Structure formats: C-alpha cells, structure tokens
C-alpha cells in the first residue's frame, strides 16, 4: 500500500470508530439523564473503544466492505444496554423517543461539524493535513450514512423504536400491536431491504445531505 492508501484507510477506521461508538454512548448517556444507570454501571459510557467493539459489526463488516471495493463502509458497535422501562417511568414515552434518536442526532451533528471544518484542510500540504482532510470527509460520509440508515422505520433500527414509542405515547394500540408482532422478524426484513433495489431509494437522501453539507 502507498502512503496515501494507508492514510485513507487509517482515517476511515478512525472516522467509523468515532461514529459508531459515539452513537451507542449517546443512547446510554441520554438514558442516564432520565435516571437509567444501566449503561453507566456496566462501564458502557466509556470512550474506551475496547468495551464497544462488536467482532462482526465493528471489524468484519467494515473490512469486507472495504476490501470488496464497496463505495462506502459502515458498521455498528456493541449495543449499549438500556432499561427503557426506567426511562419511560421517569420521562414518559417522549424520553424513550429521545433515547432512540440520541445516536442519530449525534451522527448528524458530528457530520455537520466535520463538514464545517473540512474547508480548512481541503488543500493539504503535508501528510498530517492530508490525514485530517480524509478523516473529516470520511466522517461526513459515514455519519450521514449511519444517521439515514438508522432512521429507517424497520425494527430493530432506532427510527422504528422512535415510531413505536411515539405510537405508545399517542395510545395507538393497534399500531404498537402490529409493530410488536413484526419486531421479531425485523432483522430478516432489514436484510431483505438491503439486498433489493429498494435500498438504493432509501439511501438516496445520503447523497443529497452530503452534497448540501460539503457545498
């Protein structure tokens, strides 16, 4: 590998780690603010990446995507444990919605910050500034991708959880009943969507948002 290829790979790994680990920490942190100490008591609010690594989502999937020449990489960290009953008891279903959307909010805010800083390094004059430029660009792409992906209303994604808690708060019992019946099959449904042309339509906002942020 050339120096530039090594810099690109390292910047991509760092950007992905910060995106997915921060995403999970934010779920636990917001839950903690609503009185749920589960994640904190288990040490899962730590920024230490070792406590968040999922062998498949953090290592295998990104590696396969990278070495297969995929146009993007994404992955996930080990989910932060949350006692949603405690959150709802202390803050109601709106608190549960806030916990569900905390990671997505983090991803979009981080993407916006990195996009704002990127012009300062858009013409790198050293290997270090090139690394920063690649890192900032990859951070925008990866965080927007993760934010949009997790907004899909398909269990067990965050967007589906948020919709489920909204329906519960609005006392839409018929909807929550249907959701709870679908939820056990959510992963199969998600895989079916990912490997069909439908996914290209659902991912379209990613390109629009990245173009808007980097304009």
The set of catalytic residues is 24
Q: What is residue 57's three-state secondary structure?
A: helix
Dihedral sign, Cα of residue 184, residue 143, residue 159, residue 36: positive
Alpha helices per DSSP H over 42-172? 61-67, 84-117, 127-151, 158-169
Alpha helices per DSSP H over 34-83? 38-41, 61-67
Q: Of 137, 107, 106, 144, which Cα lies nearest the Cα of 119?
A: 137
Distances (CA, A) of 142 to 154, 172, 181: 20, 34, 32
Q: Which residues contact 38 (CB under 8 A, 6 or more apart)?
A: 28, 31, 81, 82, 83, 86
């Amino acid at each position: 590998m050339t120096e530039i290829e090594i810099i690109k790979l390292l910047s991509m790994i760092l950007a992905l780690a910060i995106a997915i680990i921060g995403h999970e920490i934010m779920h636990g942190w917001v839950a903690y603010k609503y009185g749920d100490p589960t994640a904190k008591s288990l040490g899962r609010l730590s920024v230490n990446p070792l406590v968040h690594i999922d062998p498949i989502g953090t290592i295998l999937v990104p590696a396969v995507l990278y070495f297969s020449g995929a146009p993007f990489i994404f992955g996930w960290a080990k989910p932060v444990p949350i006692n949603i009953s405690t959150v709802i008891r202390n803050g109601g279903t709106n608190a549960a919605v806030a916990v569900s959307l905390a990671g997505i909010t983090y991803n979009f805010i981080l993407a916006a910050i990195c996009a704002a800083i990127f012009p300062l390094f858009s013409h790198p004059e050293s290997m270090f500034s090139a690394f920063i430029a690649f890192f900032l660009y990859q951070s925008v792409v990866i965080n927007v991708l993760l934010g949009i992906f997790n907004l899909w209303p398909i269990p067990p994604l965050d967007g589906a959880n948020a919709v489920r808690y909204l329906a519960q708060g609005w006392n839409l019992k018929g909807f929550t009943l249907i959701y709870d019946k679908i939820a056990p099959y959510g992963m199969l449904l998600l895989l079916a969507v990912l490997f069909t042309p439908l996914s290209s339509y659902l991912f379209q906002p990613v390109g629009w948002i990245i173009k808007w942020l980097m304009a």
